[in-house]
Structure 1
Amino acid sequence: MRHGRGLKLIGVFLVLALVGAACGDSEEATDTTAATTTVATTTTVATFDLVAAADEYLSTIPEGWLAVGDTVAFKDAVAASNAVLIDVREVGEYEEGHIEGAINIPIRTLSDNLDKIPTDTQVFIYCKSGFRAALSVGALHMLGYDNVLGYPPGWNGWTAAEEPVSTDAVQASTYTVPDIDPTLFAAVDDYLNGIPDGFLSAGNVEAVKEAIAAGATIVDVRTTDEYTAGHIPGAINVSLRDMANGLSAIPEDTNTIIYCGSGWRAGMALSVLQTLGWENTKSFGGSFKAWKAAEEDIET
């Protein structure tokens, strides 16, 4: 009897011992888990402000609007500064004839060829009529190339002045590409690479009139004094240098046409707006000069 009871007691003690051991293991596991728990932390990454970058460029545009509009003055400036001359027309246009010494970087490929554009030497951009050159100057200044100017008369003005031309291709030199914020580069790159046929032109006076009749918004980017002296009827005024602060006046979801005096400032404005995401904007190349020449109504 004692022997049997002793066996039972031994069994009870074994059970208690196992339970105690199990409890001890559980507490140790709990302690270990508590000791290795990591508190998650969040890091706020600063985002690049495209509008601020646009304002920094636009608000500091000097007198002359980053252009040399006279052919003689242009020739003198190129010679005096040993400038790099860039033809942003298509390859076929360049091959048919170009200003002597000019390299060819078609506008849609500018952001792919920044290693061919210096930052410490004067650069001049030209195209056929000045339209693509204005877009190019705007895009490059957004990227920080503040050494870039345009030649608005372009190939048409050069040949009309009977200046010498060349069909010999010029090999571009290579330069160090400056540090550019990835967000800024992506925005400009998307805009340039995505320029459609027609290069975002709103067309001639008749095409602009039809667009206005269909409900397009017309934005005059000249100075307030120029606008007050006379403008296209119904146009709103958002001056180029202050455009970053006037974006709320420019609709993003309806067709918008930008114009200025002769088309140059409109092209620069269009370049910035497209970079910022205003994809429904186009430029009236002939601008107010063409509107007046067509003897259309003017509002004051």
Structure 2
Amino acid sequence: MYFQRYYLECLSHASYMVADEETKIAAVIDPQRDIEIYLQDAEEHGFTIKHVILTHFHADFVAGHIELRDRVGAQIYIGKKGDAEFQHVKLGDDDRVELGSVYLTTLETPGHTPEGITMLVWDPQYSTDEPYAALTGDTLFIGDVGRPDLLASIGVTADELGNMLYDSLHEKLLKLPDATRIYPAHGAGSLCGKALSSEPYSTLGEQRKYNYALQPMTREQFLKIVTAAQPDAPDYFVHDAIMNRKNRVSLDEAMKHSMIPLDLGKVSNLQAGGAQVVDTREAVEFAGAHLKGSINIGIDGKYATWAGTMLDKTAPIVVIADEERLEESIMRLGRIGFDQVAGYLKHGMDALARRADLVAHTSRITAPAVPELDGNVVVLDIRSPKEHEEGHIEGSINIPLNHLEERVKEIPDADHLVVHCAGGYRSSIGASLLQKLGRKNVLDMVGGFKAWEASNLPVATTA
């Protein structure tokens, strides 16, 4: 048997290829939208990808099932309780996907979504009685379980899904042998849960011992604990969950319409008409000079998640990027279904060389310099409430980045508006948004709260 895990750090997303090394038939489970990695592996090993399986309709990214269907003719499979515009095969309990002597069987495991399934991987060279692994999708994570409260599950309440999740865990997954390897669709950093581990896999026995959601408790206790303290889900989650059901255009087609060079005049006209300009360069480069009204979401970070959080999925997007990162910047927007990229600024920032009237700058400040500022100083902490409670700068205002635009009027005018996050990535987004919204005297604190602590400056906590 060939078994391969692929991990996409930007989206904390894991996908898998399982193949029979004799028949050379392969299946890909929960693929990312840019599918070259699977095609390259298949070619290298002589595999034919005949099957592509969605454990559920993902909300945090657009899956690559359409792309694999179009490129290699793979058959698409979804859970029995799901429905979709594209041709598909429904999988219910005990249904099989044959690869050869290696095969997959299905467990219906709703809870994160109604149509959720788990795929059991069987390899007779390992055992004829026990599965080699369980590909649990977003039902069971390492250290956590899939949250049942996402609005992506349209028409089903969190309580209904929570009850389904409890049953899926106790009536299906927890009955598997303790030696079963658990391979989920997400790791630490995903918003599909609250306590996901960075470990690539575990065993059911280990999870039975250490996963908080699998400890002995009543159904009512379970429902309470799995819905408590979940992170805010970005608005684009609903968009992506719906998009994953549609017979949409492929990423290749979307890219053809997005990789269009635009001169500065065209970009200015689009911007005046409501287009969003996202600059994916590093924060220090953006601070030095950027197009007025642009938002800085750095390519080297949780780019897709924050782009999906901060950008309007209905408005055109113009990209400004370093030339060597341009295609990547647009493709990674495509990973989350933001196909409305109108193009990119031709020649990047060089296009602004003679247009100083269109150039803005962001002032940056080190943590030790903040207490030395004169006049009225407002410190804006754009981390999550939990991060703020665990330690913050005395007197700072906490408005999470994902709520900054809607709550900007809560921020008082100041001689110095110092913006910080944990390490500096989010604060550059926040500072650029504040400047776009017309706020003056904005300062981006370099290195964030970690730099403040490292400088041995005073830290307050919420009792």
Q: Normalising to structure 1: TM-score of the pair?
A: 0.42
> By percentage of residues, which structure has more strand?
2
Structure showing the higher helix proportion among its residues: 1
Structure 2 length-normalised TM: 0.29
Structure number with greater CO (CA < 8 Å, separation at least 6) is 1
Whichever of the two has the greater Rg, that structure is 1
